[in-house]
Each structure stands twice: as structure tokens, then as C-alpha cells.
Amino acid sequence: MPAQHSPSCDVTVIGLGPMGRALAGALLSAGLRTTVWNRTHGRDRELVERGATGARTPEEAVAASPVTVVCVVNYDAADSVLRQAAVTDALKNRAVVNLTADTPARARDTADWAARNGIRYVDGAIMTPTATIGGPDAVFLHSGPADLHRELRPVLDALGGTHHHLGEDIGRAAAYDIALLDVFWTAMSGYAHALAVARAEGISARELAPFAQGIGAILPGIFAETAEDVDSGGYSGEGNPITSAVSSMAHIVAASEAHGIDASVLRAAEGQARRAIGLGHGTDGFIRVTELLGRTSEAR
């Protein structure tokens, strides 16, 4: 029997890059009547073959549904579509779920624009790869009006995974996103550097990877413990004082530069640690640098 649709089950997706196509595909699989639009023509072909409606213009796309999901490269791209006069007019009294990644300030600016134009707005972030969308492992973060988030749950749930409403401050999802991607890209940068050092010492990436996974496995406990230190201001260095951390960092820098490998990222981390020591925090743990980042020693 064909799926029965109601207005609440109609949704538009703006942006058909890899993630946008995954979102639209999940909505179609869940039986929602889905309209799609992308600036570059042709990306909707497979989705249309699956039953989506391909809109000719963005204003036609947003007018087709009470809910529009936006997923483009950044807020400049989102603004270039949503803030066209015809699109803005068509969105009045409709809901926008913006899953585009950008800064908290841009999310708040977009919410202000939406409020001025009678558009109901929820901001969000996708924390897992495209392959997870529609399945149980997808993770979505949202912020904005709680009542609107509840109203939109049938659409959000169709995207699979878990959906976390982080509060009414519209910039909160973007703030989480920025912080978590900071962890990811800093870690990936460190891993790339580690692979370069290992290769210089005759160790292949495949040989190192299992041991690198072991390092990764100890991080969740360290994250939880140091989060308590930061929130409480304790910064215990009983198990590993920052002076010990500086010593190991210096060894890595020396080994890297001996092979002509750029160690500027780790030199920056070492410099932060040495600054903390210079300010009298040598017996604290490394996470003490959280309080020092972005401040001058004079301000302390």
C-alpha cells in the first residue's frame, strides 16, 4: 500500500552535495514526500528516480513544503539562496532546519533574519559521516525553540540516529559543532604528523595504526576526567604533571626536526605548556592550558 502523506510529512531539501543527497535519500526511504533543489543541475537525478520532486527554482522548492532542510557548504552559500527576496517571501510561516556548518555567530544572525521575516527556524549540526544518515548511528545536534523542535521531530526522526536538542540559544548547536570538530581536526593533524615521523623512522602507517588505535582508546576516560578538572578548576597533575608533558613534547619536536619534518603544531602546544609552567602551574595537569589560551601573561 502506498505511504499515506500529510502536510507534516512534506519536506524540501536545499543542497544536494553528498550529505544533502544522503538526507534527501533518508527522507524518501522513510516515506516522506520530498522536494529537492540544488544550484548545480543534475544532482537530483537519482533522487527524482526514487520519487523525489525536482524543483526548478529555490522559491518553488521551499513553497512545496512546510519544512525546508538546508545543507550546503557554509552560511554564505545558505544566505545566497535563502535571502533571495522570492525565497524569503515563500518561506514566511514555514520552518527551516539549517544543518549547514558554520559559526555560532552566523547561526544567530540567520535566526535574526528568520525572525524578521516570519520564518520559523531551528539550527543544527550533523556529527557523523554521510554513510550513517538514515541509520541508527547518525548523530544530530539542534538548538532553537523547543516547541518547534518537538513539532519537527517526525521529519528529524526520518533522518535516523539520535537528535539532541541542546537549548534555546540558537548558536548552541554550532558551538558544539565547532568544539567537536576542533577535537577531530586537531587529532587528525596530530595523526598525520605521527605517520610522517614514523615513516621517517622506517615504520609504515599500517604498522603504527593498531598502536595509534590504542592511544585513541584511552582518550574517552581522559576527556571525562579533564572535563571535571576544567569545570571545577582543579587541574590535578598528580598522575602526569605538565612538566612531564613538556619533556615528551620536546622529544617529539627534536625527533621530527632531525628528519626535516615540520613540528610547528607541536611546538605551539609545547609553548602553551611552557607558558603555564612559567606562570607557576608546573605541578598541574596539561589541561591547565585551557585557562591560558587567548590570554596574555600580563592579564594573568
Q: Grid coordinates 537525478 are at which residue?
A: 45
CATH, residue 164: 3.40.50.720
Average pLDDT over residues 274-280: 96
Question: What confidence tens digit (pLDDT) does each residue in 189-221 have?
Answer: 999 999 999 999 999 999 999 999 999 999 999
Helix, strand, coil distribution of the chain in percent, nearest 5: 55, 15, 30
Residue 191: inside a domain: no
Residue 177: inside a domain: no
> Do 208 and 282 sit in the same domain of this protein?
yes
Question: Does the pLDDT of residue 164 top 70, yes or no?
Answer: yes
Read off the pTM. 0.91
> Do 54 and 146 sit in the same domain of this protein?
yes
Question: Does the pLDDT of residue 1 top 60, yes or no?
Answer: no
User: Considering its fold, how many domains does the chain have in total?
Assistant: 2
> Do 158 and 221 sit in the same domain of this protein?
no
Say what the pLDDT of residue 39 is. Answer: 94
Specify the DSSP element, H or E, that contains 104.
helix 104-116
User: Average pLDDT, whole number, for the chain?
Assistant: 94
Average pLDDT over residues 66-73: 98
Residue 179: inside a domain: no
> Do 213 and 268 sit in the same domain of this protein?
yes
CATH, residue 212: 1.10.1040.10
Question: Does the pLDDT of residue 294 top 50, yes or no?
Answer: yes
Contacts of 55 (CB under 8 A, 6+ apart): 12, 35, 36, 37, 61, 64
Average pLDDT over residues 16-28: 98
| Closest C-alpha among 41, 33, 40, 38 to residue 20 | 38
Say what the pLDDT of residue 295 is. Answer: 65
CA 187 – CA 180 distance, rounded (Å) = 11
Q: State which of 149, 170, 191 marks the end of a domain.
A: 170
Say what the pLDDT of residue 173 is. Answer: 98
> Do 162 and 250 sit in the same domain of this protein?
no
Say what the pLDDT of residue 9 is. Answer: 75
Q: State which of 170, 192, 222 marks the end of a domain.
A: 170
180 burial (CB, 10 Å; 0-12 / 13-18 / 19+) is middle
pLDDT cut 90: percent of the chain above it = 92
Say what the pLDDT of residue 6 is. Answer: 41
Domain span holding position 261: 204-292
CA 80 – CA 294 distance, rounded (Å) = 33
Reported as a pLDDT band with limits 50, 70 and 90, residue 7 is very low
Question: Does the pLDDT of residue 2 top 70, yes or no?
Answer: no
Say what the pLDDT of residue 296 is. Answer: 53
Say what the pLDDT of residue 299 is. Answer: 47
Question: Does the pLDDT of residue 276 top 50, yes or no?
Answer: yes
> Do 105 and 24 sit in the same domain of this protein?
yes
Average pLDDT over residues 18-45: 96
> Do 135 and 213 sit in the same domain of this protein?
no
Say what the pLDDT of residue 300 is. Answer: 42
Say what the pLDDT of residue 290 is. Answer: 94
CA 104 – CA 141 distance, rounded (Å) = 13
Say what the pLDDT of residue 97 is. Answer: 98
Residue 24: inside a domain: yes
Question: What confidence tens digit (pLDDT) does each residue in 233-253 have?
Answer: 999 898 899 999 999 999 999
> Do 157 and 217 sit in the same domain of this protein?
no
> Do 35 and 84 sit in the same domain of this protein?
yes
Contacts of 101 (CB under 8 A, 6+ apart): 74, 125, 126, 174, 177, 181
> Do 148 and 215 sit in the same domain of this protein?
no
> Do 17 and 155 sit in the same domain of this protein?
yes
- Grid coordinates given for 63: 513553497
